[in-house]
Structure 1
């Protein structure tokens, strides 16, 4: 439990960081270089590659602890580290009085056999349900909705195909599942600020990415707002403007 005095100090620090343009410029330069070096590929969670920045890992831990969701929906599995990360947090929550039946539903268009084996044999996979298919396919969305039925607190994490159109469809499909005061977290909004040569041969880039999808989505959905403090305090994050809090 954080006391009021310390929390006030924290809030003042976050505001000061937000006003520090020199800090922001240095952070931006570092992020560009880190992308070129594939910095996020170097970390594991409980033995599996998580492919996230450590700062974002801590941020998601903060959210899961405070929200105590009984369901986390994740699009994009890759090598499984993030799915196991979320299941392990739910396991810890359950040990501390959180929902005993909480689970993660993770979707990926291609779950390769060696990744599936590594994930399914992991001790924390008992809280994981994987679905293979496109996260915007209507039949897949309906499967997720079925798993969400009766759940009281739902957190959604979007981290699959990063094109504008795909992410916008994900936002529209999964936003109705997110419960009040929970979040829909959209990863890799950083793409908007990266030079083309740092992205490589990908179908997304500046002007066509998760951040542009968020801006379009928020024009039509007033249940969500960007949690500015969340990315401001992190600075080093792939999800700038991507922490969307459900306020309605």
Structure 2
């Protein structure tokens, strides 16, 4: 005969200690301020981000960033998502999946200089337009203009292609006349060149943002709350809302 399982409930005194412990924890176990950077370095150096997939397709992103992006998409409800840097296509699929849940007409435009790595699973997504091209050429600007006519509304744009300062700056300048008030721009991989990863990388996305803002200081407002929400991001200084 099986022994009876007796549920043991905490005594009033024990319950009180638990409540007190929970209330005091933020004061007793304060952050040293280094945890986010150390976790960020671990996340990057172990290359776990290269082993992250969406629906079976590699998606080289921070998973906390991806969660943040879907919250932004739900709040913004854009009609057009523009991605510079396709790679295998996992993130383009992800954006399309989120947008379908939002439930309004949309298109995802994903641009990359080569489709050699593009996964056929992603390529079959009916709501993603994959374009093989450099991202900073006039033909891409024309395509975005045309898509804005077909899908009027807000635009969510993410830069994740060539991570050199010169290239990212050229992408930001290409987008300048294309984005309007309230549109969202994410400049990814600004954590390179010591922010806090790969200090020897050389000027990259972070420095491109700085250079752009020196030239056009009133174009964007930094969405600091979003940037800081999960403690670390692959886009430091790169959560931008068009003014």
Aligned match of 1:39: 48
1:83 and 2:88 matched? no
Aligned match of 2:6: none
1:235 and 2:231 matched? yes
Measured in 2, the distance between the counterparts of 1:128 and 1:174 equals 20
For residues 47-77 of structure 1, the C-alpha deviation after alignment (integer angstroms, 9 at most, x for no partner) is: 2111111110111001100000000100000
Tell which structure's C-alpha radius of gyration is larger.
Answer: 2
Q: Which runs of 4+ in 1 moved over 6 A?
A: none
CA 1:194–1:228 in 2, change beyond 3 Å: closer, same or farther? closer
CA 1:116–1:181 in 2, change beyond 3 Å: closer, same or farther? same
Q: 2:207 aligns with which of 189, 209, 212?
A: 212
1:131 and 2:131 matched? yes
Aligned match of 1:7: none
1:50 and 2:59 matched? yes
Checking the alignment, whether the CA contact within 8 Å between 1:154 and 1:177 is kept in structure 2 is no
For residues 157-181 of structure 1, the C-alpha deviation after alignment (integer angstroms, 9 at most, x for no partner) is: 1110000000000001113322322
Aligned match of 2:121: 118
User: Where in structure 1 are there 5+ consecutive unaligned residues?
Assistant: 1-15
TM-score after normalising by structure 2? 0.81
CA 1:175–1:116 in 2, change beyond 3 Å: closer, same or farther? farther
Greater Cα shift, 181-190 or 150-159:
150-159
SS of the counterpart of 1:115?
Answer: coil
Checking the alignment, whether the CA contact within 8 Å between 2:57 and 2:119 is kept in structure 1 is no
Q: Aligned-residue CA RMSD in angstroms? A: 2.1
Q: Write out aligned runs for 1:8-157 (5 A).
A: 22-23=32-33, 25-94=34-103, 99=104, 101-112=105-116, 115-121=118-124, 125-150=125-150, 151-157=152-158
Q: Select the structure that is richer in helix.
A: 1
Measured in 2, the distance between the counterparts of 1:180 and 1:194 equals 28
CA 1:135–1:127 in 2, change beyond 3 Å: closer, same or farther? same
